[in-house]
Amino acid sequence: MEISKAFEPLLDVFRAEFTPIAKRLFRETLDQAKQEAGTIREYLSLKEVTELHLDISAGTLNKWIGLGLPVYTIEGKKFIKKRDLYEFIEAHKN
């Protein structure tokens, strides 16, 4: 079905205003779901810590591990206990 030429300017305005709002709402919803998924479990993978939980680089996390942040390794997979992570951050506040 072809849209009448008369409605094209209105459609362009709608797209210009609606698209950024829809994208923002989608991102916010996705971010919230990621955060909630991370809060359910007691242990987080290193990737979850860096990407979902704290939004820090892998290099920063590795530095913290070098400074004493405990890591649990099971069958080659590494995890960090949330409580250990929060205690480490608290211990290093200024």
Q: How far apart are CA 45 and CA 70, in angstroms?
A: 12
Identify the DSSP state of 92. T
Report pTM.
Answer: 0.56
Q: Rounded mean pLDDT of the chain?
A: 87
Q: How far apart are CA 30 and CA 36, in angstroms?
A: 10
Contact 44/79 with Cβ under 8 angstroms? yes
pLDDT confidence bin for 1, thresholds 50/70/90:
low
Residues in the chain: 94
Tens of pLDDT along 21-44? 888 888 888 878 777 776 567 899
